[in-house]
Amino acid sequence: MSDYDTRFSLPSVDDDAATEIGVILMGLGAERLLAGLGSAGADDDTTTVTLLVEQLRHGVPDASALPAAVAEGTARWRGARDTLAATDPGGVRSAALRQLWCAATRTVAAAALIDPALATLGDAERAYLAACWLRRAEVDLCTEESHDPPDVTS
């Protein structure tokens, strides 16, 4: 038995901050990802948007802000989903979170070459879109028209 416990290993010093933020985003629920996608602007950074989503979950500035952000995120997701699907090379997926994140960001970058609307996205918008792409099954379920609006307060 090894004396080295990998459960508490820190990230590699070679991993960039955007990848580490992506790993955190991958752990958020679909509703939070949609709220982040809907809240992110071209000049926003991902960390600021993530903190904003948490404020929205707690009713700041008011209770209507979170459903509005989710609705905007849903519209953005629906606008980008087909282009992302067209640019994703598919194939075998790694179980390594950081490799998955890098593949998703490459898919978003490739989609931006096809769709001019995606070409103007800022860092936070691209990050949340990549996270939505990785969690697309859940995000798609959350955004189905027949689906009841998600409960994003829990």
The one-letter amino acid code at 88 reads: D
Spell out the per-residue pLDDT of the chain, length 154, in tens: 456 555 555 556 566 888 889 999 999 999 999 999 999 999 999 999 999 999 999 999 999 999 999 999 999 999 999 999 999 978 767 778 888 999 999 999 999 999 999 999 999 999 999 999 999 999 999 998 645 555 555 5
The full set of domain ranges for the chain reads 16-143
Tell me what pLDDT residue 7 has: 54
Distance between CA atoms of residues 21 and 34, nearest Å = 16
Cβ neighbours of residue 94 under 8 Å, at least 6 residues apart?
100, 103
Please state the separation of Cα 58 from the chain's center in Å: 20
Report residue 40 as tokens.
């992110």
Tell me what pLDDT residue 18 has: 87
Cβ neighbours of residue 104 under 8 Å, at least 6 residues apart?
22, 130, 131, 133, 134
Tell me what pLDDT residue 146 has: 45
Name the pTM for this structure: 0.84
- Residue 64: exposed, middle, or buried by beta-carbon count in 10 A (0-12, 13-18, 19+)? exposed
